[in-house]
Amino acid sequence: MYLKHESMKTFKYLFILIIAIGCASPQKLVEHAEYEKALKVSTRRLKKGKAKWKNLNAFEKSFRVLTEQDSLQVSALRAEGKPETWPVIYDKAVTISNRQRKVAPVLDRLDGSDFEPVVSLYPASALLDEAADKSALYYYAGALEFLETARKGNRQDAREAYALLERCRDYRVNFKDAPALQHEMYNLGTTHVLLRNSYGSYDPIFSLRLIAEVISGRKYPYRDDWQVFHIEEATVEKPHYFANLLFYDLDVSWERERSSCCSNSETIQTGTVEKKAWNAQDSVWVTVKEPVYETVSVQVRTTYQEKSASLSMHYSLVDAESSEEVYRTSFYGCERWSNVYSDVSGDRRALSLLCDDEGGCRRSFPYDEELLIDAACDIRYGFRKEMKRAVD
């Protein structure tokens, strides 16, 4: 309750603040050096309605101060002479351009009138073009530093180059040969993993069925971020890792049945019988109906059928070049099958909450292989999470 009260107070405060800013005098905002707010309010007031000198003055001063501040920051960044400052300059150019775009309706509306604003626009378009070119060049040059090692097999460096080229193309999508280089780095940075069945002591064909259940639901080769999983050697020329899948501890329970019996008796009304009775008040014989009761009984035998299966799968990741195991984990899956049915004898009218008919019918127990395959399906979710884990 306290938190709710505090949230309401915060909401009311923000609402009042928004209203206050909307109604604030542009002149007062300028006096308090709140130039962004002053420009916003004065722009809104000059875009429609009757123009007023006080709003125009606030508009001109706030716009001039903000433009001068940005201009000085751009000049200071240029003076540093560092390539890494160009993305910052670009962001500043975007800010200037957006501001000038927002005030353009005011300049158009008051153009040629007595209230025509006296403002100087910054050459934002030229700055944007220059900053975009030099920002793209900055990230492109950074990417070039990783190309040699990436082409020698360093996948991490290939990914660094890819990310830098992505930033480069944010500014100029077709900068030099960046698209082709980025595609190359994408391929060089990819880790290829070949899934293999280790078979163990179990039937190879059935083991393949179990693996198919675990890895199903994906189209292979399957990519997740920087790694691609393969199930066929033909789809990968030279894998970086082998992922060995080995099932063990396959266990299927006996076909278990247990029964419970209950019986119940109830006295129920089965009808009525007419009898003559003397009505002393009216001194006459009258016909009355009296209920007829009968005791009925029922017997219920409820049978419970149960069978379960479980298995484990070992997952090991082996470096294809060194044949060293670099990672291992295991998964456990289980499946439980059950069925309940009742055989009722006697009068069903005697059934009660404590002795009821569960319905159903006897069913055939599932085959061992069927339950084991369902148990393998139980592993699928955990295995998919494992595939999302970065291999390198």
Does the predicted model carry a pTM greater than 0.75? yes
The residue range of the domain holding 54 is: 21-122
| C-alpha to C-alpha distances, 44 to 34, 50, 67, 354, nearest whole angstrom | 16, 12, 19, 77
User: Is residue 45 in a domain?
Assistant: yes
Alpha carbon separation from 384 to 155, 229, 264, 327, 381 (Å, rounded): 23, 11, 53, 16, 5
In a domain, 301, yes or no: yes
**Which of 344, 338, 339, 341 has its CA nearest to residue 361?**
341
Same domain, 258 and 386: yes
- Within a domain: 258: yes
Residues 378, 382, 383: CA angle, nearest 5 degrees: 100
Residue 344's CB is within 10 A of a number of other CB atoms, namely 18
Q: Is residue 102 part of a domain?
A: yes
CA 338 to chain centre: 35
Digits of tens for pLDDT over the chain (392 positions)? 544 555 555 555 554 444 444 457 889 999 999 999 999 999 999 988 788 899 999 999 999 999 999 999 999 999 999 999 999 999 999 999 999 999 999 999 999 888 999 899 999 999 999 999 999 999 999 999 999 999 999 999 999 999 999 999 999 999 999 999 999 999 999 999 999 988 766 788 899 999 999 999 999 999 999 999 999 999 999 999 999 999 999 999 999 999 999 999 999 998 888 888 888 887 888 888 889 899 999 999 999 999 999 999 999 999 999 999 999 999 999 999 999 999 999 999 999 999 999 999 999 999 999 999 999 999 999 999 999 999 99
Could you tell me if 231 and 282 lie in one domain?
A: yes
> Based on the domain organization, do 27 and 144 belong to the same domain?
no
Distance between CA 329 and CA 385 in Å, rounded?
Answer: 12
> CA 64, 65, 67, 71: dihedral to nearest 10 degrees?
130
Same domain, 224 and 268: yes
End-to-end CA distance of the chain: 49
Reading the block at residue 175, the tokens are: 């900068």
Is 160 in contact with 186 (CB distance < 8 Å)? Answer: no
177 vs 183: CA distance, rounded Å: 10
Are 184 and 247 part of one and the same domain? no
Last residue of a domain, one of 68, 94, 122: 122
Same domain, 51 and 158: no
Instruction: Count up the domains in the chain and report the number.
Output: 3
